[in-house]
């Protein structure tokens, strides 16, 4: 699988990145054997970039990823994790994190937002322990929507200092909202932004962000290309999710139109969804989450094969046709 540079840094990422939230039991449990088989399948098809976070399964994702990579040559893979949420003992656990956090794990821990310099260092130290690594390559500030000033004033300077000391390779911010990321790109010294669900076949609202990043040499990592499920099937079902909730009817109709266009050109909707972000030269890679080996094998095949110019033309027309209806 092709490797690309992450902007101006020496860090390299595979065209397809492995989003490790599902192996942290996102929305439902998967056992350790299945998680390991999925991670091993990703390695076998050439995936060399793995993204995780303490938030994912209250540390379970990081632990499972660390176990899967423990016997791999460290120079051959890239890992990113995130800071901004410290994991601390839960004072009143209910038994499951599924309702509060979205992960099917015991809620013996609780997430506490902390975007201070000390919080960043504590979070990164704990992540390294769970990952069984002596360093990570990329660190993103995770979802600082309600803490943006603190992230700009404290978290990001702490990470840039670590980068300048050679402790980490690259600094970024990961969010699913465009306006705060634009501010980060304009005001901070970042190497990359991870934008989730806003530069997809269906939702292209990150276009101004991509333009801003291109002007400043900041790499874009396009995450959640399936918009949390809607674009992951050949024909979107009525109960499909969009941005982690039920897909509104106008959005569902538009996704089905994109599916019809894909089929007419002899391809599948998830193929188009995975390839779309990579059309922009500023996008270093696309990151998606997988629960089974079969899913990652299909994704690797689709990521490697571009669509024809005619297919993209018709998909673009279909994507634009319903923008005003649901934007």
pLDDT given at position 2:
86
Listed as ranges, residues in the chain with pLDDT below 70 are: 322-327
- How do residues 71-121 score in pLDDT, each as one tens digit? 999 999 999 999 999 999 999 999 999 999 999 999 999 999 999 999 999
pLDDT given at position 37:
98
pLDDT given at position 199:
98
- How do residues 125-141 score in pLDDT, each as one tens digit? 999 999 999 999 999 99
pLDDT given at position 325:
47
Task: Give the global pTM.
Answer: 0.96
d(CA 3, CA 25): 28
pLDDT given at position 322:
58
Please identify every residue annotated as catalytic. 56
């Amino acid at each position: 699988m092709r490797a690309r540079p992450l902007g101006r840094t020496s860090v390299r990422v595979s065209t397809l990145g492995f989003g490790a939230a599902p192996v942290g039991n996102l929305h439902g449990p998967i056992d350790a054997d299945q998680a390991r088989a999925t991670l091993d399948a990703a390695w076998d098809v050439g995936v060399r970039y793995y993204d995780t976070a303490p938030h994912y399964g209250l540390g379970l994702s990081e632990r499972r990823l660390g176990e899967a990579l423990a016997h791999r040559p460290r120079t051959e893979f890239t890992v990113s994790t995130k800071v901004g949420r410290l994991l601390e003992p839960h004072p009143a656990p209910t038994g499951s994190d599924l309702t509060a956090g979205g992960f099917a794990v015991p809620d013996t821990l609780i997430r506490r937002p902390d975007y201070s310099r000390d919080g960043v260092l504590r979070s990164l130290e704990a992540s390294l322990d769970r990952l069984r690594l002596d360093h990570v390559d990329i660190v993103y500030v995770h979802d600082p929507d309600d803490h943006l000033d603190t992230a700009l004033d404290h978290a990001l300077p702490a990470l840039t200092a670590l980068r300048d000391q050679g402790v980490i390779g690259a600094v970024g911010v990961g969010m699913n909202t465009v306006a705060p990321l634009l501010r980060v790109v304009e005001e901070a010294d970042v190497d990359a932004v991870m934008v989730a669900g806003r530069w997809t076949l269906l939702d292209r609202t990150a276009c101004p962000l991509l333009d801003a990043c291109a002007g400043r040499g900041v790499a874009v990592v396009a995450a959640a290309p399936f918009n949390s499920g809607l674009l992951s099937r050949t024909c979107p079902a009525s109960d499909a999710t969009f941005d982690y909730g039920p897909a509104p009817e106008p959005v569902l109709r538009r996704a089905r139109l994109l599916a019809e266009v894909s089929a007419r050109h002899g391809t599948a909707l998830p193929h188009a969804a995975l390839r779309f972000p990579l059309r922009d030269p500023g996008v270093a890679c696309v990151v998606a989450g997988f629960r089974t080996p079969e899913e990652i094998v299909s994704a690797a095949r689709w990521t490697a094969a571009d669509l024809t110019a005619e297919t993209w033309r018709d998909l673009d027309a279909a994507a634009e046709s319903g923008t005003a209806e649901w934007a």
